Chains A and B, each alone.
Chain A
Amino acid sequence: MTAQKPKTRFTTRLDIARGSVEMTHGGGGRAGAQLIDELFRRHFDSEGLRQDSDQAQLARPSGRIAISTDSHVVSPLFFPGGDIGKLAVNGTVNDVAMAGAKPLYLSVGFILEEGYPLADLDRIAASMAAAAKEAGVAIVTGDTKVVERGKGDGVFISTTGVGVIPDGVELLPRRIQAGDAILINGSIGDHGVAILSKRENLEFDSEIVSDCAALNGLVAAMIAAVPDLHCLRDPTRGGLSAVLNELAVASRTGMVVDERAIPVKAQVQAACEFLGLDELNIANEGKLVAFCPGDKAEELLAVMRAHPLGAEAAIIGDVVEDSRALVRMKTQLGGERVIDWLAGEQLPRIC
C-alpha cells in the first residue's frame, strides 16, 4: 500500500468522503480512470498494477499452479469480524491454499451499484489491502463495472487467485482413503451465524464474530509437518456437512464423525437452537477440514494447535469403506445418524 497520495491528473479530486458511485465510473472514460487511480490504487499497490496495463505480466513460477475463482455477494457488506473485501481476499486465498499452494496473486473484479457511497467503497478497498498483505498475496490486476441503482446490492466482488504448489504436495479428494483421520482447525458455524444475526437483527449477549481468515499460513505449517496430507477443503457454503458429503462421494468412501468431537461455540449453538438451524450446515470462512493417514493424525493435530488459527483444532472422525458414500455421525446421545447435504436454502423451522 502506498503511503503518499498520488497527485491528481484530474480537474478535481474524487470526493471520497461525500461522493457516491456514478454510472460514469464504469463507462470507460476519465471518471473510471479517476476512481481506479484515487481510490483503488491508493490501497492496492503491486508490480502488476504499476505496469498500467490491461493485464499483469508476471514471472512464471516454478512448479504446478493452483488457480481458483470466487464471487462474493454477502449481505450485509460489513459484519462482525469482517466485510466483503476481507472475505473476497481470504475466500480465494483459502481456495488456492486448499491445494497446498502458496497463494501469490489476486485478480479482482468489482461490480458496483450506482449510488453506493465512495466512503464505504474506500473502507472495503482498505480492508482488501490489509487482508492481502496479511495473507502475503499481491492484487495484480482488476476490473470495475457499474450497474444502475437497484440492479446490484451495493458491491459484488469476484476474485481469482493464483498460487504455486510445492513439489511433492498432492492434495486431492481421490487420495482420501479408508483409515484416514478427519480433522478440523476449530469451531464451526461462526461466520454464518455472525452474518445471520446481523442480517436478522438478532442480538446476543456476546457478539458472534465471523471466523474470516486466510488459512495459507496454517496450511504451510501442516504440510511441513505432514507432507503426506491427503486432502484439504474449506467448509464454506453448505458447511461441514456439504464438504464431508462432497468428499465422500468424490473419494467413494464413507465417513464417520463423532458429534462430541466437533467444536461449536456456545453462542453459535444457542443461535442455532433458537433459529432451528443445524450448525453442520452453516458457512465458515476460516476453517479447513483435513484428511491424513490415521497414524499421522496426532502429529498433525499438534501442529495445528500450535498455530493461532488452529488452537481449537480437533480430530473429528475417520474415513471408512462404504460403497454408498454415506457420512454418518455418532450422536452425543450414543445413537447414530446420517449427515446429509443441506437441501436448498437452510430455512428456519417454525416451532
Chain B
Amino acid sequence: MKYVDEFRAADLAQSLARAIAVEARPERSYRIMEFCGGHTHAIFRYGVQDLMPANVSFVHGPGCPVCVLPIARLDNAMELAERHGAILLSYGDMMRVPGSKRRSLLKAKAEGADIRMIYSTQDALKIARDNPGKQVVFFGIGFETTTPPTAVAIQQAAREGLKNFSVFCNHVLTPAAIGHILSSPEHDDAGDARIDGFLGPSHVSSIIGSKPYEEPARHFKKPVVIAGFEPLDVMQSALMVIRQLNQGRAEVENQYTRVVTREGNRKAQALVNDVLELRDTFEWRGLGFVPNSALKIRDTYATFDAEKRFEITPSSAKDVKGCECPAILRGVKQPLDCKLFGTICTPENPMGSCMVSSEGACAAYWSYARHREGLPVPEDEEEFGEEDA
C-alpha cells in the first residue's frame, strides 16, 4: 500500500539497523522509553527489537490511553449507564478494560446497560439527536490526539442546543506525564529503571507541536525525538536519540516532520482551549495523582459536563492484587516481572489494563513476543483443550 509500505521496507530497516549498530558505543547501554503504546505496538508487531544491537533497549512508557485511566473513573462511567440509565458511548479499546470486580463495559453491556461503541464523536452527537428522550454520555478518554474531536462535539452540541448530550471528560496530557516520570528517583541514572531518552508522542504532537517537550528535555537533560509510528520511524528516531546521547545533547528533535511542526495545530489548540481547561490534578493508573496533567470542561460549557449533570459516587477501587500494571506503566517493571502475566492474566482474561489494549505492553509481549520469552509450555491435553474451546 502506497505511503505505508515505504515505512516498513526491509532493506531500509537493515541499513538503519547497521547505522544504529555503528552509532551505539559498545561500552555503554542505551535505554530509550517509547512513551506511546503506538510505538510499543509497532516495535512488537514488526519485530523491531530483533534488529537492534544488544545494548539498545526499549522501555515501554505509559502512553496507552486506556491503560492509564484509573479503575475509579471506569467505575464512574459504568455508573452513568447503570445507575443513571444513560446511553454511554465509548471508543472500542475501552470496552474490555476491567474495572473493579473485573467488570468491563462489555460485561455491563451484556447485563443490560446501554453501552455502545462508536468511532467518532460525530456518531455520539447523532445518537443523542436520535434519542431525545435519553441522556447520552460520551466517555471522553485519550491524550491530546483525541481531545479536539471531544471539544468539537461539545461546541456543536451547544450550537444545536442538544439538551441530552454530555461528556465524561478524562482527557490527559503527555508532557506532564513525561515530567512526572523523570522526576521519580526510580528513573535516575542510579535508579533501577534508568531512562536515557524518549521517543516522543507523534500524533499528540501533530496537535500540540514538539515545543511542549522542550522544557522537560532541558530540565531533565534527556533527549526527546518526536517519532512516527511506522517501524522505520521508530528505528530512525532511536538512531537520533542515540546520536544525541553520544554527542551529549538533550534536545527535542522531530523525526515525524511529515506531520509534526514545532507549533502544532493552532486551530485545534484554540478549539480545545475554548472548551476545556487544566485540572489541578488527575489520577493516572500507575503514576498516581499528577498535577496539571488532565483537562476538564470549562464552566461556560458546564451543562455538557457529565460530572456536573450526574451525581457520581467517588470510587476508591484498587487494582487487582499482584497486578504490576502500575509499575509496568512507569517503565519500572517489564511484563515478565509480573507473576500474573501469562498465568492467570492473558488477553482473554485480563487482570489489568496493560493486557487489554494492543497498545499495552503486556498485550504486546503476549501477542507478539512470547516466542522469545521461554514461557512455560502447556503440559497436558487439558491445557491445550482449554485454549481450543
B358 within 8 A of A: yes
Q: 0/1 per residue, B1-29, Cβ < 8 Å to A?
A: 11011001110011000000000000000
Provide the bound-state CA to CA distance between A266 and B2, in Å. Answer: 9
9 A–B pairs (Cβ distance < 8 Å), ordered by A: A200-B119, A246-B388, A269-B1, A332-B8, A333-B48, A336-B50, A348-B93, A349-B92, A351-B142
Min Cβ gap A144→B in Å is 29
Hey, which chain B residues are within 8 Å of A344, CB to CB?
96, 106, 347-348
Partner of A332, one of B46, B93, B143: B46
Hey, which chain B residues are within 8 Å of A328, CB to CB?
371
B387 within 8 A of A: yes
Hey, which chain B residues are within 8 Å of A349, CB to CB?
92-93, 357-359
Residues from 322 to 351 in A contacting B, C-beta threshold 8 Å: 323-326, 328, 331-338, 340-341, 343-345, 347-351
Chain A residue nearest to B17 (CB atoms) is A334
Interface residues of chain A, those whose CB is within 8 Å of chain B, are 200, 246, 249-250, 252, 266, 269-270, 273, 275-276, 323-326, 328, 331-338, 340-341, 343-345, 347-351
B54 within 8 A of A: no
Cβ B347 vs Cβ A337 within 8 A:
no
Min Cβ gap B342→A in Å is 12
Q: Assuming A332-B9, A334-B47, what are 14 further A-B pairs, CB within 8 angstroms?
A: A249-B388, A250-B388, A275-B119, A325-B384, A334-B14, A335-B50, A337-B44, A337-B45, A337-B47, A337-B369, A343-B347, A347-B92, A349-B357, A351-B203
Which 7 pairs from chain A and chain B are nearest by CB?
A: A335-B47, A343-B347, A347-B92, A335-B50, A340-B367, A337-B368, A333-B46
Min Cβ gap B363→A in Å is 8
Chain A residue nearest to B355 (CB atoms) is A343
Provide the bound-state CA to CA distance between A327 and B145, in Å. Answer: 34
Q: Which of B8, B143, B357 has the most CB of A within 10 A?
A: B8
Provide the bound-state CA to CA distance between A351 and B369, in Å. Answer: 22
Residues from 341 to 389 in B contacting A, C-beta threshold 8 Å: 346-348, 357-359, 363, 366-371, 375, 377-378, 384, 387-388
Min Cβ gap A255→B in Å is 11
Cβ B366 vs Cβ A340 within 8 A:
yes
B199 within 8 A of A: no
Chain A residue nearest to B2 (CB atoms) is A266
Cβ B388 vs Cβ A350 within 8 A:
no
Min Cβ gap A251→B in Å is 11
B146 within 8 A of A: yes
Cβ B1 vs Cβ A333 within 8 A:
no
B252 within 8 A of A: no
Q: Which of A250, A345, A347 has the most CB of B within 10 A?
A: A347
- Given A269-B4, A332-B8, A338-B367, residue A351 in contact with residue B48 (CB < 8 A): no
B66 within 8 A of A: yes
Hey, which chain A residues are within 8 Å of B232, CB to CB?
333
Query: Interface extent on B, as a size class?
Result: 35 or more
B326 within 8 A of A: no
Residues from 111 to 152 in B contacting A, C-beta threshold 8 Å: 117, 119, 141-143, 145-146
Provide the bound-state CA to CA distance between A120 and B347, in Å. Answer: 40
Provide the bound-state CA to CA distance between A350 and B346, in Å. Answer: 21
Partner of B371, one of A266, A326, A333, A334: A326
Cβ B142 vs Cβ A270 within 8 A:
no
Cβ B92 vs Cβ A350 within 8 A:
yes
Provide the bound-state CA to CA distance between A334 and B47, in Å. Answer: 7
Provide the bound-state CA to CA distance between A332 and B48, in Å. Answer: 11
Hey, which chain B residues are within 8 Å of A273, CB to CB?
1, 4
Cβ A324 vs Cβ B377 within 8 A:
yes
Hey, which chain A residues are within 8 Å of B358, CB to CB?
276, 349
- Given A269-B4, A273-B4, residue A333 in contact with residue B47 (CB < 8 A): yes
Chain A residue nearest to B44 (CB atoms) is A337
Partner of B141, one of A269, A340, A350: A350
Cβ A334 vs Cβ B50 within 8 A:
yes
Partner of A338, one of B48, B93, B96, B368: B368
Provide the bound-state CA to CA distance between A326 and B371, in Å. Answer: 7
Chain A residue nearest to B346 (CB atoms) is A343
Min Cβ gap A106→B in Å is 27
Hey, which chain A residues are within 8 Å of B143, CB to CB?
351
Hey, which chain A residues are within 8 Å of B93, CB to CB?
347-350
Cβ A335 vs Cβ B46 within 8 A:
yes
Min Cβ gap A272→B in Å is 10
Chain A residue nearest to B94 (CB atoms) is A350
Cβ A343 vs Cβ B50 within 8 A:
no
B91 within 8 A of A: yes
Chain A residue nearest to B366 (CB atoms) is A340
Cβ B49 vs Cβ A335 within 8 A:
yes
Residues from 45 to 63 in B contacting A, C-beta threshold 8 Å: 45-51
B65 within 8 A of A: yes
Provide the bound-state CA to CA distance between A345 and B384, in Å. Answer: 21
Chain B residue nearest to A332 (CB atoms) is B8
Hey, which chain A residues are within 8 Å of B95, CB to CB?
347
Partner of B1, one of A270, A326, A347, A351: A270
Hey, which chain B residues are within 8 Å of A332, CB to CB?
5, 8-10, 46
Chain A residue nearest to B143 (CB atoms) is A351
Hey, which chain B residues are within 8 Å of A351, CB to CB?
38, 65, 142-143, 145-146, 203
